[in-house]
Amino acid sequence: MTKQIWLNLPVKDVAKAKDFFWKIGFSFNEQHDTPSSTCMVVGESHFVVMLFEESLFTGFSQNKLTDTQSSSEVLISIDAESTEEVDELAKKVEEAGGTVFSPPAETQGWMYGFGFADLDGHRWNVLFMDFSKLS
């Protein structure tokens, strides 16, 4: 049966995308780097997000790319350990050239988070969930 899952994302420029994610705190398994792809590692479980040059990605998917300026295909959600970490990451995203489309705020009385778009327009959601406030 399935042992792992990973996410593949198209990017215009692998080096720029890698630099952006590095600046906001993600790490990479550089053993899997090629000139047209890189292997980003997310979280304690080392979830893999492969960043592929757009032309290579479309060859795999055999489909046209979504225009991330006008539509979304996926919202990638990651957790944070505190409200402070949410705020820090939002600042890092802006400093690295990303777009915060939903500034840090509390929602539903027990979650605190923000939304951002990376350099290629992929949308990410960062949440701190305080389950002690859940009623």
> Would you give the DSSP letter of residue 31?
G
pLDDT, position 134: 83
CA dihedral sign, ordered 120, 67, 42, 110? positive
pLDDT, position 78: 96
Predicted confidence (pLDDT) at residue 135 exceeds the cutoff of 80: no
pLDDT, position 3: 82
**CA dist list (Å): 61 to 52, 54, 86, 109, 111:** 11, 10, 33, 40, 35
Tokens matching residue 63: 């489909």
**CA dist list (Å): 38 to 25, 59, 67:** 15, 16, 22
- Which whole number is the average pLDDT over 22-31? 96
Angstrom distance (rounded) from CA 114 to CA 118: 13
Is residue 124 within 8 A of residue 117, CB to CB? The reply is: yes
Per-residue pLDDT tens over the stretch 54-73 = 999 999 999 999 999 999 98
> What residues form DSSP beta bridges with 79?
127
pTM above 0.95, yes or no: no
Angstrom distance (rounded) from CA 42 to CA 16: 18
Per-residue pLDDT tens over the stretch 35-49 = 999 999 999 889 999
Per-residue pLDDT tens over the stretch 73-114 = 899 999 999 999 999 999 999 999 999 999 999 999 999 999
